[in-house]
Amino acid sequence: MEQVQKNDSACVCEPDECDTFKFMAKRLGMRVLHPGGLEATEILAKRCGISEDMTILDAGCGRGSTSTFLAKRFGCKVIGVDVDHNLLMKANCSVQKENLTHKVAFRYADIQNLPFQDGTFDGAIIQATLIFTEKSKALQMITKKVRKNGFIGVIELAWKSNPAKEIVQKVSDVLCKSSASTECHDDWINLLNQAGLAVISAEFRDLDFNFQNMLRNEGILSTSKVALKSIYDKSTRRKIIQVVNLFKETKNYLGYGIYICRKR
Ligand SMILES: C[S@@+](CC[C@H](N)C(=O)[O-])C[C@H]1O[C@@H](n2cnc3c(N)ncnc32)[C@H](O)[C@@H]1O
């Protein structure tokens, strides 16, 4: 796998301090780490018009769950990139297990500095990753790597409207600083426009953390493991309760956006 310079802005939170996404991926072994889960991904993919003949960039692919999902569900080719070696190794393992190596490949790369020729991809998917980067820089870089009239589909946490300071602080403390520095729904639309994209659709949704969604995203085995960990491990249980409570407390402020854009 290719080595690229790791950018300091890539992951601002350390696992034991506050980054709930790392906790979910590394401590709980969860595979789907974006709001809305694979249900939202499927909506995104359909709105983007993903088809079999396309090659898609999964920017910030994590454990590669979206990359394999897209290849299986839509038949497209996918290249996933991430700056976490450990997650990329897991992504590679699952692609081999699922016999999808002819469709899906992973590379170590920073989405702010992508090692591909301009216009390589028919489209790009970005889910819960822009918040960890310099958003405009990453968006401009990804846009460059997509062909003219190609699409960019984004799912990110979003504020309904400007949140009060206490709410921002709570999200920063419980989820992570990067989550708290996400944009208001309207500001995401502005950022996408500024990156030279035409925003075709933008939908704000409430966060919905429930057991059924988790089963669909993680499968029965992984969901059972999380349930067992939360029963037997006190600190895991405490963290899960904190996150569930946070979503309840901030439900009038924090949600997520599904944004579909075309490169002009
Ligand atoms: C919350 S996870 C989302 C993973 C995946 N997109 C998903 O939906 O399950 C954020 C991912 O972004 C990756 N990431 C953060 N900064 C990055 C960067 N500059 N370039 C590439 N990946 C990055 C992290 O390593 C992590 O895997």
The answer, yes or no, to whether residue 171 has pLDDT greater than 90, is yes
Higher pLDDT, 20 or 62: 62
10 CA from centroid of ligand 1 (Å): 8
151 CA from centroid of ligand 1 (Å): 19
Q: Is 155 in the pocket of ligand 1 (CB under 6 A)?
A: no
**Is the separation of the CB atoms in 171 and 180 below 8 Å?**
yes
What atom of ligand 1 comes closest to residue 65's alpha carbon? Answer: 9
Question: For the domain 20-263, what is the CATH code?
Answer: 3.40.50.150
Q: What is the pLDDT of residues 205-250, one digit of tens each?
A: 998 777 788 888 999 988 998 889 888 888 888 888 888 899 999 9
Q: What is the pLDDT of residues 186-203, one digit of tens each?
A: 999 999 999 999 999 999
Average pLDDT over residues 68-79: 98
Higher pLDDT, 14 or 192: 192
pLDDT for the residue 26: 84
Tokens for 239? Answer: 């963290």
The percent helix, strand, coil of the chain (3-state, each to 5) is 45, 20, 35
Q: Is 84 in the pocket of ligand 1 (CB under 6 A)?
A: yes
Q: Is 41 in the pocket of ligand 1 (CB under 6 A)?
A: no
Q: Which of 90-104, 142-156, 165-179 has the lowest mean pLDDT?
A: 165-179
Higher pLDDT, 146 or 9: 146
11 CA from centroid of ligand 1 (Å): 8
pTM over 0.95: no
**For the chain, domain boundaries:** 20-263
Q: Is 218 in the pocket of ligand 1 (CB under 6 A)?
A: no
Strands 104-108 and 77-82, by their bridges, are parallel
Percent of the chain residues topping a pLDDT of 70: 93
Q: Is 7 in the pocket of ligand 1 (CB under 6 A)?
A: yes
